[in-house]
Structure 1
């Protein structure tokens, strides 16, 4: 049976089969979702906010709880789209603003320009570069050398 999910702030409705996950809804609407972990609930790249209809989704698993615990922009209504399965109607999902960085080259290519949107760490969702900030070479060195983000290790394994 088909259920309807509404996406905000783009005001789009999308159909999904009962027990289909929210990630399929995002991909159906051609939203850019990195799904860096392949839909296993281990990264932040499909993090969404459920503004209404949380009871129409499957419960949060332990793996999802562990991943949500490291996402810096996590709220009480946070879910991983790859793990949240739609069981009923009335689900309203908000896609967090910003762009998850897939590679350090994503940021390097923007040196000398202002970030059009927040640039986010792919595992924690931490803002690496705020919207409107000028991206400089010194900023890049700070990001590359930031020990709390472990970006160097992450990007070595992802490229």
Structure 2
């Protein structure tokens, strides 16, 4: 059996099999979400807001609660798409604006340009560079350091 999930603000709908997670539906629509922790609920790259239909999703588990507590932009209607399983109809998901630092292939190319959208920390979800801000060489160094530490953290969690 399948459920229709609406994706906002892009006004798209996607089909998700009953008891599959939201991440599947989001990834099939090629949206700006990275499953950095391989769907284990340990990063914020699949953080979404549930506009309606929270009761049509599986309850939060302990790992998801801990991860959401670390996300700076989390709200009471926040979920991790990798952990939220669709069990009923009427789910409307809002994809947060912004791009995670790990999605940027060559950070050096950003020097001297303005950020087209917020650049986000992949574990905490906090804004590292606001949209419209000029990206300086010192910002690039901080972004590289952040990316390196996040990659090291995620590598350790994959081994555990």
Does TM, scored on the shorter chain, surpass 0.5? Answer: yes
RMSD: 2.0
1:7 match? 7
- The CA deviation at 1:62 is 0.4
* SS at 1:102 equivalent: helix
- The CA deviation at 1:141 is 3.5
* SS at 2:4 equivalent: strand
* SS at 2:68 equivalent: helix
Q: Do structure 1's residue 154 and structure 2's residue 150 form an aligned pair?
A: yes
Q: Give 1:29-44 correspondences, 5 Å limit.
A: 29-44=29-44
Number of equivalenced pairs: 155
Deviation by residue 1:117-141 (Cα, 9 ceiling, x = unmatched):
0000111011010000000112224
1:51 match? 51
TM-score by length of 1: 0.89
- CA gap of 1:143–1:85, structure 2 versus 1, over 3 A, is same
- The CA deviation at 1:54 is 0.1
Whose helix proportion is higher, 1 or 2? 2
Deviation by residue 1:4-29 (Cα, 9 ceiling, x = unmatched):
10000000011111001100010111
- The CA deviation at 1:105 is 5.9
Q: Do structure 1's residue 137 and structure 2's residue 133 form an aligned pair?
A: no
Deviation by residue 1:24-59 (Cα, 9 ceiling, x = unmatched):
010111113210000000000000000000000000
Cα separation, 1, equivalents of 2:152 and 2:40: 20
- CA gap of 1:2–1:105, structure 2 versus 1, over 3 A, is closer
